Amino acid sequence: MLRIGIAGCGGRMGRMLVRHTLDTPGVVLAAGSERSGGDLVGADVASVVGAEPVGAAITDDPAALVAGCDAVIDFTTPAATVAHADLAAARGTILVVGTTGLGASDLTRLSEAASGARIVRAPNMSVGVNLLMALTRKVAATLGEDYDIEILEHHHRHKVDAPSGTALGLGEAAAAGRGVDLDAAADRVRDGHTGAREDGRIGFAVLRGGDVVGDHTVMFAGPGERIELTHKASDRAIYARGALRAALWAAERPNGLYGMADVLGLG
């Protein structure tokens, strides 16, 4: 049985991960963490979803979290994630990262840590979204620059980063399909008199409101026709199921940095 630890187990996504870990064959809930001073510290990790105790107290010590399990699933913050990556590398622990908002320096840290650990990192752990990314890359590679690429995303009103990590991942897929660098091609903000759209740009539009779990559309707008690839999430359980699938997959792999495309055989 693979022993799973959940970073930020008391949060909305953390609770979802706890619930699905308890229900997933082949894994056991072995550890959980919360930020220092949190009300849940010291409680049994299964208590966050009202389940029977599993004998593992929630800790506020990242080192104790990593030491208490075979794999850590982390949907927390960039600072916490890179700290977990360093600890995972020191112990050879699996780390599954669904954290968004990671910067270039954070991604470098994850890459460095992967020399000592199996790290699976994806901007979105959903199987459907990763299929969407593969399709986006294929369509972008097939269509020429006569087709303008626009990425639209809509999330709940509490989301703090924009564009979403998933939208940026879709942008990376589109850019890879066209053989260009996303940073050089992206239009992430439009305001005022912007002039006509430049050829080859990849545009982003962001919506925030209500309780939307996550909607993403990649639009290829060409002369006389428009192709739209869309994924709509209605339940965060899809992210938990994908993360647990990634942890089980990584248990059979050597150290290295992987993505959900690897897990799903889409590489």
- Where residue 97 sits, what CATH number does that domain have? 3.40.50.720
Look at the chain and report how many structural domains it folds into.
2
Which tokens go with 3?
């022993």
Q: Could you give the C-alpha distances from 48 to 10, 27, 35, 258, in angstroms and in order?
A: 6, 18, 14, 30
Q: Are 192 and 209 in contact (CB under 8 A)?
A: no
Residue with tokens 């049994």: 44
d(CA 69, CA 66): 6
Which tokens go with 33?
């963490």
| Domain co-membership, 94 together with 164 | no
Torsion of CA 3, 126, 114, 99, to 10 degrees: -90
| Domain co-membership, 142 together with 98 | no
| Domain co-membership, 149 together with 197 | yes
| Domain co-membership, 83 together with 187 | no
The binding site for (S)-2,3,4,5-tetrahydrodipicolinate consists of 156, 165-166
Residue 267 pLDDT exceeds 80: no
Q: Is 155 a catalytic residue?
A: yes
Indicate the pTM of the whole model. Answer: 0.84
| Domain co-membership, 33 together with 164 | no
Torsion of CA 119, 121, 126, 127, to 10 degrees: -60
The tens digit of pLDDT for each residue in 75-87 reads 999 999 999 999 9
The binding site consists of 8-13, 34-35, 98-100, 122-125, 156, 165-166
Which residue is catalytic, options 20, 154, 155, 216? 155
For 86, the domain range is 2-121+236-263
Mean per-residue pLDDT of the chain: 95
Confidence of residue 51 (pLDDT cuts 50, 70, 90): very high
- Give the pLDDT of residue 234: 93
Residue 163 pLDDT exceeds 90: yes
- CATH code assigned at 186: 3.30.360.10
Q: Is 232 a catalytic residue?
A: no
